[in-house]
Amino acid sequence: MLRRWTHSPRLRESSMSASPAPILITGASQRIGLYCAERLLDEGQPVIATFRYERPGHERPGLARLRERGVPTLQADFADEAGILAFIGRLKEHTDRLRAIVHNASEWLGETTPGEATPGEEARIFQRLFNVHMLAPYLINLHCAELLERSSPADIVHIGDDVTRKGSARHIAYSASKAGLDNLTLSFAARLAPRVKVNGIAPALILFKPEDDAEYRARTLAKSALGIEPGAEAVYLGLRYLLDNPYVTGTTLTVNGGRHLK
């Protein structure tokens, strides 16, 4: 169970209900989001998870594991405003309070090969990345702050990317949208204090994709001082720190293996 702080009246555990309010994790059907959801469940912390799609008759293993543990899995596609607002409506049908919101959902899209983009494709990708990484956290935070304020303590955690430190020649729109997410951390931390803490986590390489080849893996590992693929626990430990610490808001934790030292 996550540690509860009671010494401060502002952070005293909500007395409205004995059962802990759930933590919403977006994009929790796989990889880091799924890992953090399962670790929170192991601690006795209820979770609500979102996923983008599921083929009929082909239940995804991660979603099956969450459902077996009683986790409400809500469909959500944050590619446009309508999808975001529709999700918010579904969320409010499920709960009237939240312990935290973890904005984890993300698309890692690079630029199309010069000259190969179809008309409008570059702008569509740019807009989609900004919708997933900025508009969704923005609208969900605005429309769901009241759910967080019924819990105490309460947190918002934005999962960003260490790449915003210097930008990326191959993921220009992705990096810019994640940089905007970093700025949302500052603004929402100021707006929602003292009832809700708002922080970010900026990972660098955490998990390779199965299709990443040996050359890419070696080249990527060489970019950090520690030179390892840490796995999702490295992000979960940062999430636990932010959820447990009553005196941290408006900050972004760097979890990058010392990339800035190379």
The binding site for ligand NDP (CB under 6 A) comprises: 27, 29-33, 51-53, 76-79, 104-108, 132, 159, 161, 203-207
Question: Minimum Å distance from CB 216 to ligand LV4SOB2L?
Answer: 8
Q: Is 104 in the site for ligand LV4SOB2L (CB under 6 A)?
A: no
By beta-carbon proximity to ligand LV4SOB2L, the closer residue of 192 and 253 is: 253
Pick the binder of ligand LV4SOB2L from 26, 29, 50, 106 (CB under 6 A).
Answer: 106
Question: Minimum Å distance from CB 139 to ligand LV4SOB2L?
Answer: 19
**What's phi and psi for 174, nearest 5 deg?**
-60, -50
Q: Is 220 in the site for ligand LV4SOB2L (CB under 6 A)?
A: yes
Q: Is 63 in the site for ligand LV4SOB2L (CB under 6 A)?
A: no
Q: Where are the beta strands (DSSP E) in the chain?
A: 23-25, 47-51, 73-75, 100-103, 155-159, 197-203, 252-255
The footprint of ligand LV4SOB2L on residues 110-149 (CB under 6 A) is none
Catalytic residues: 174
By beta-carbon proximity to ligand NDP, the closer residue of 29 and 249 is: 29
- Kindly state the tokens that stand for 220: 């990527």
Nearest Cα residue to 49 out of 69, 59, 58? 69
Long-range contacts of the stretch 67-73 (C-beta < 8 A, 24+): 69/38, 69/41, 70/46, 71/37, 71/41, 71/46, 71/47, 72/22, 72/48, 73/28, 73/29, 73/49
End-to-end, the C-alpha distance of the chain in Å comes to 38
Q: Is 161 in the site for ligand LV4SOB2L (CB under 6 A)?
A: yes
Q: What does 24 bind: ligand NDP, ligand LV4SOB2L, none (CB cut-off 5 to 8 Å by kind)?
A: none
Q: What does 251 bind: ligand NDP, ligand LV4SOB2L, none (CB cut-off 5 to 8 Å by kind)?
A: none
What DSSP designation does 50 have?
A: E
Q: Count the residues in the chain.
A: 262
Neighbours of 191 (CB within 10 A): 12
Question: Minimum Å distance from CB 90 to ligand LV4SOB2L?
Answer: 22
* Residues 148, 155: Cα–Cα separation, whole Å: 7
By beta-carbon proximity to ligand LV4SOB2L, the closer residue of 21 and 204 is: 204
Question: Minimum Å distance from CB 55 to ligand LV4SOB2L?
Answer: 21
What DSSP designation does 252 have?
A: E
**What's phi and psi for 224, nearest 5 deg?**
-115, 160
Q: Is 204 in the site for ligand LV4SOB2L (CB under 6 A)?
A: yes
By beta-carbon proximity to ligand NDP, the closer residue of 20 and 203 is: 203
